């Protein structure tokens, strides 16, 4: 017996007559009678007893319906899931990002998605640049968000933001009075550097290494957010990407343009071999809204 036959069987039991069942299901009375005949032929035993123009289920029919309830529940859940997926109310997102985006724009976008799509389950991790690309290539994550992306075979990308690195410090720091902070001014103060080997650390190091005088950092960290934490604690000043600078709102820091300028870009990447899900496209739109409003 198929699902439609089980639905007819359940409706006959509920309404008690073939006429009422036909009206409820939008079928003709002969169609219901033929359905009963077909089902009884298929199972090889009577499903109903007829008495005074009404039909009553046999014990065998009741047993079948009892077992079929789990099928109806499964079907109902499946229809709800289809509806949720159609309206993007449910599903899964697997996202990975480097720290500058992961601790700022991406985290805020996840919050917005949870407000709009509370039944969406999100899997999120913050990794290094190379690890983000590796997780996209191996399909462990659907979307990757990185700073300083360089084209790579097998991956597609879209640039979401372009800006320049800035110098951050406490409001009472001497450099806070500068309209622009350059390398020469930076050399006179304790400096919190980004680690070599990171995308932003390498870009910053290239500028510092070109300074005429020997330049030495007081502290070296891997992530811009860590640099902001130390700057807020009065350890020194740091040069970080503007996305990190703006996401460190819990700190009492100010930022100033840095010279020479160090351009940065933020991109979303995904595997070329797979099409983005509707949820993934919606999430990229949320991140784009946040980065579009960034100064």
φ, ψ at 146 (rounded to 5°): -135, 160
Question: Rounded mean pLDDT of the chain?
Answer: 88
Report the pLDDT value the prediction gives residue 89, as an integer from 0 to 100: 56
Tell how far CA 77 is from the center of its chain.
23
**Are the C-beta atoms of residues 254 and 168 closer than 8 Å to each other?**
yes
- What ranges make up the beta strands (E) of 81-223? 90-97, 119-126, 143-147, 155-164, 166-169, 181-182, 191-194, 219-221
**Are the C-beta atoms of residues 154 and 137 closer than 8 Å to each other?**
yes
**Are the C-beta atoms of residues 120 and 279 closer than 8 Å to each other?**
yes
Tokens of 156: 């597609």
Per-residue pLDDT tens for 49-85?
888 878 888 888 888 888 888 887 887 777 766 665 6
Report the pLDDT value the prediction gives residue 160, as an integer from 0 to 100: 95
Report the pLDDT value the prediction gives residue 92, as an integer from 0 to 100: 86
| Domain assignment present for 84 | no
Long-range contacts formed by 69-75: CB under 8 A, 24+ apart: 71/3, 71/6, 72/6, 72/7, 72/10, 75/3
Which of 56, 77, 98 terminates a domain? The answer is 77
In whole angstroms, what is the distance from residue 208 CA to residue 161 CA? 24
Domain count, the chain: 3
| Domain assignment present for 17 | yes
pLDDT band at 278 (very low <50, low <70, confident <90, very high): confident
| Domain assignment present for 82 | no
Q: Same domain for 137 and 181?
A: no
Q: Same domain for 101 and 146?
A: yes
In whole angstroms, what is the distance from residue 36 CA to residue 31 CA? 9
Q: Same domain for 118 and 154?
A: yes
List the CATH number of the domain containing 65.
1.10.10.10
Q: Same domain for 241 and 277?
A: no
Task: Output helix, strand, coil percentages for the chain, rounded to the nearest 5.
Answer: 45, 25, 30
Q: Same domain for 181 and 104?
A: no
Q: Same domain for 272 and 129?
A: yes
**Are the C-beta atoms of residues 25 and 8 closer than 8 Å to each other?**
yes
Report the pLDDT value the prediction gives residue 158, as an integer from 0 to 100: 96
Per-residue pLDDT tens for 173-223?
999 999 999 988 888 899 999 988 888 888 888 888 877 666 778 899 988
Question: Any idea which residue has 């983000």 for tokens?
Answer: 132
pLDDT band at 114 (very low <50, low <70, confident <90, very high): very high
Which of 77, 98, 114 terminates a domain? The answer is 77
Q: Same domain for 101 and 236?
A: no
Report the pLDDT value the prediction gives residue 83, as an integer from 0 to 100: 63
In whole angstroms, what is the distance from residue 46 CA to residue 9 CA? 12
Q: Same domain for 143 and 281?
A: yes
List the CATH number of the domain containing 232.
3.40.190.10
Report the pLDDT value the prediction gives residue 233, as an integer from 0 to 100: 93
Asked if pLDDT for residue 90 goes beyond 60, the answer is: no
Report the pLDDT value the prediction gives residue 51, as an integer from 0 to 100: 85
**Domain enclosing residue 252, as ranges:** 166-261
Report the pLDDT value the prediction gives residue 88, as an integer from 0 to 100: 58
Q: Same domain for 124 and 145?
A: yes
| Domain assignment present for 214 | yes
Report the pLDDT value the prediction gives residue 1, as an integer from 0 to 100: 79
In whole angstroms, what is the distance from residue 66 CA to residue 98 CA? 53
Tokens of 127: 């990794």
Report the pLDDT value the prediction gives residue 272, as an integer from 0 to 100: 93
* For range 10-35, the mean pLDDT: 89
* For range 82-96, the mean pLDDT: 73
Asked if pLDDT for residue 111 goes beyond 90, the answer is: yes
Q: Same domain for 215 and 283?
A: no
Whether the predicted model's global pTM rises above the 0.85 cut: no
* For range 75-99, the mean pLDDT: 75
Between these two residues, 88 and 183, which has the higher pLDDT value?
A: 183
| Domain assignment present for 11 | yes
122: Cβ contacts below 8 Å, ≥ 6 apart = 92, 93, 94, 95, 110, 113, 114
Angle of helix 18-25 relative to helix 3-15, nearest 10 degrees? 130
| Domain assignment present for 68 | yes
Q: Same domain for 23 and 141?
A: no
Q: Which residues of 207-237 are buried (b: 16+ CB within 10 A; e: fewer)?
A: bbeeeeeebebeeebebbbbbbbbbbeebbb
Which of 20, 51, 77 terminates a domain? The answer is 77
Asked if pLDDT for residue 248 goes beyond 70, the answer is: no
| Domain assignment present for 12 | yes
pLDDT band at 249 (very low <50, low <70, confident <90, very high): low
Q: Same domain for 19 and 71?
A: yes
- Tell me the three state secondary structure of residue 217: coil
């Amino acid at each position: 017996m198929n699902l439609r036959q089980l639905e007819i069987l359940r409706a006959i039991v509920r309404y008690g007559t073939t006429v009422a069942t036909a009206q409820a299901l939008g079928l003709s009375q002969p169609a219901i009678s033929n359905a009963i005949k077909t089902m009884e032929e298929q199972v090889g035993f009577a499903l109903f007893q007829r008495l005074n123009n009404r039909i009553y289920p046999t014990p065998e029919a009741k047993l079948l319906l009892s077992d079929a309830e789990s099928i109806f529940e499964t079907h109902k859940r499946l229809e709800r899931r289809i509806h949720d997926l159609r309206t993007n109310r449910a599903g899964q997102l697997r996202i990975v990002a480097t720290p500058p985006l992961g601790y700022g724009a991406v985290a805020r976008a996840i919050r917005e998605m949870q407000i709009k799509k509370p039944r969406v389950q999100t899997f999120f991790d913050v990794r290094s640049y190379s690890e983000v690309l590796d997780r996209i290539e191996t399909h462990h994550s659907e979307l990757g968000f990185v700073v300083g992306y360089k084209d790579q075979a097998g991956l597609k990308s879209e640039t979401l933001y372009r800006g320049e690195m800035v110098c951050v410090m406490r409001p009472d720091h001497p450099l806070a009075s500068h309209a622009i902070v350059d390398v020469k001014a930076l050399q006179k103060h304790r400096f919190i550097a980004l680690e070599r080997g990171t995308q932003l650390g390498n870009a910053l190091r290239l500028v510092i290494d070109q300074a005429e005088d020997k330049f030495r950092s007081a502290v070296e960290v891997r992530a811009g957010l860590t640099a902001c934490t130390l700057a807020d604690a009065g350890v020194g000043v740091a040069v970080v990407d503007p996305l990190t600078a703006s996401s460190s709102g819990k700190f009492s820091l100010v930022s100033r343009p840095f010279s020479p300028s160090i351009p940065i870009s933020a991109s979303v990447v995904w595997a070329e071999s797979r099409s983005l899900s509707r949820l993934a496209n919606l999430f990229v739109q949320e991140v784009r809204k946040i980065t579009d409003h960034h100064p």
